[in-house]
Amino acid sequence: MDIRLDGIGHAYAKVDVLSDISLDIESGQIVCLVGPSGCGKSTLLRVIGGLERPAQGRVLQLGDPPESCLNPLTYIFQDFALLPWRSVSGNVSLVLEDHGIRGRAAQGIIDDVLSRTKLTDFAKALPKQLSGGMKQRVAIARALAVRPAVMLMDEPLSALDAQTRELLMDDLVDLWTRQPFTAVYVTHNLAEAVRLGHRVVVLSRRPGRIRDIVEIEKPLAEREFGDPDLDAPQRHLWHLMRDEARAADAELLDV
Amino acid sequence: MSDVSRATSVAFRGGGFKPRPRRWVGGAVLIGLILLAEWGTRAGWISALTLPRPSDVLDTFRELYESGLLFTHLGLSISRLVIGAAIGASIGISVGVLIGLFSYVRSGLVPLIAAIFPIPKIALLPLFVIWFGIGEGSKYALIAFGTFTPTVVATYGAVDNVDRTLIRMGQSFGLSWWSIVRKIVLPGAMPGILSGLRISLAIAIILLVAAEMLGAEYGIGAYILEAGSLYDLERLFAGVVILSTLGVLVSAGIGVVERHLLGWRT
């Protein structure tokens, strides 16, 4: 299943945040969205998954999601969005219960996704007992449980410290290598973008437009920490963004 | 490096502002006050008209217990309290959740709740007697009404404070409306609802006495009011002690429920 964005535009209280965004997201690819703060990249992600209604344009699903897919468009949030009163496995089972998957069938899925995210030993722990990285792993496990056609990741690593971020990036690459998934990955961190993205979409300052799309050829599994091959694209991205980022930084917030 | 012999250690100036529970202090203060009253009344610098002697109150309490009337009073009062508070709290929680979830219910009911909250419910007792009869009905109604308003306000405030990102998460995973309410909104609002219940149940005990002003032969409230009109201070205090104990027990009960239901809080 592919996703097509067709002329998406959006405004909050007369301030344009997105303008004429058209983009194809092909299945099996990770598309990173980068841009200066306030360029509407998170808004665009909410639009793609139907959490926000765009003022202009539409989001199209091309083709049907795979049969086994329970929730085609599935989010991973920056602040994890785990229910603090449910254990790790309870948080995963939350999203299965509404699909009528309970008991042994649910347990099978939960065990599978927890082992894929290295959480098997933490199944009974409460979120308050987990570190940030572990919490985000739980959120990833929860997303995997509904077998999404497209994962919508909203700065999933931004709330984590640098070391945890590296570890989780490795985990995401492993997950993708074993079973390629489609993802739209919003980030303001260019190192994350060049490490995880097959394509990096650069948005301009508000109102966000597509400024450039950078393809990164090197296979995901061969990219590594501090990879010299990624320097050039990362530098290129920074050149595209620097002036915009500076201007965005100097902008007065209109709240 | 400067001269080490002239070094002074940096004085500690952090800490404090962090009360910790000290188990025995509460009891000690209470016992101290009672002993003070006992000493004063025995020594004569507190006259018997000002304050009854604690040991006399204890004797009155023993008489009450031995006559078996204690349990008649207690049984009736507790059943009024439980039934009235249960009606008021359950309607209060339901209405509070509806106000928290629906714009029209909110706009329609919040001003109404604000209008009835400050009414002294005791003033409405005659009205309740006309509506629900002089028997148990008016007593349940008064206690229920008194518990209802604070519960509503606490509940809709608690629903408002449920983390919206959790609700968006539920929607993004395709959870049904009812699942979101049951599995995200209600548990998320539980801390606020329980702290609201602490207040409403204390108000329920206050109203118990008021409810037993009219047409009650037995009940702690009736017992206190009768003692009050006779200026029988020993019996008055015995009744007050029972009410205080009831309040402490209710509060402790909510504490147990909180520890059980809210263990997930940090």
Given this model, what pLDDT does residue B157 score? 94
Given this model, what pLDDT does residue A91 score? 94
Residues from chain A that touch B265, judged by Cβ atoms under 8 A, are: 84, 128
Q: Looking at this predicted complex, what is its ipTM?
A: 0.87
Would you call A75 and B265 a contact, using CB atoms and an 8 Å cutoff?
no
Given this model, what pLDDT does residue B202 score? 92
CA-wise closest residue to B244 among B224, B259, B230: B224
Read off the pLDDT of residues B177-205 as tens digits, 9 standing for 90 and up.
999 999 999 999 999 999 999 999 999 99
Contact A196, A185 (CB under 8 A): yes
Question: For a pLDDT cut of 70, what percent of chain B falls above it?
Answer: 100
C-alpha distances in angstroms, A216 versus A117, A155, A194, A223? 26, 20, 7, 10
C-alpha distances in angstroms, A209 versus A189, A215, B127? 18, 18, 67
CA-wise closest residue to A56 among A123, A7, A124: A7
Residues from chain B that touch A85, judged by Cβ atoms under 8 A, are: 187-188, 264
Q: Can you tell me whether residue B236 is helix, strand or coil?
A: helix
Read off the pLDDT of residues B215-262 as tens digits, 9 standing for 90 and up.
778 889 899 989 989 988 889 999 999 999 999 899 899 989 998 888
Q: Is 0.90 topped by the overall pTM?
A: no
- Please give the structure tokens belonging to residue A65: 């999601």
Would you call A81 and B169 a contact, using CB atoms and an 8 Å cutoff?
yes
Reply yes or no on whether the pLDDT at A82 is more than 80: yes
C-alpha distances in angstroms, B260 versus A127, B66, B255? 17, 37, 9
- A16 beta partners: A11
Given this model, what pLDDT does residue A75 score? 93
Of A84, A94, A142, the CB nearest to B183: A94
Would you call B173 and A73 a contact, using CB atoms and an 8 Å cutoff?
no
CA-wise closest residue to B37 among B56, B58, B54, B60: B54
Q: Which helix (H) or strand (E) holds A33?
A: strand A30-34
Reply yes or no on whether the pLDDT at A154 is more than 80: yes
- A76 beta partners: A153
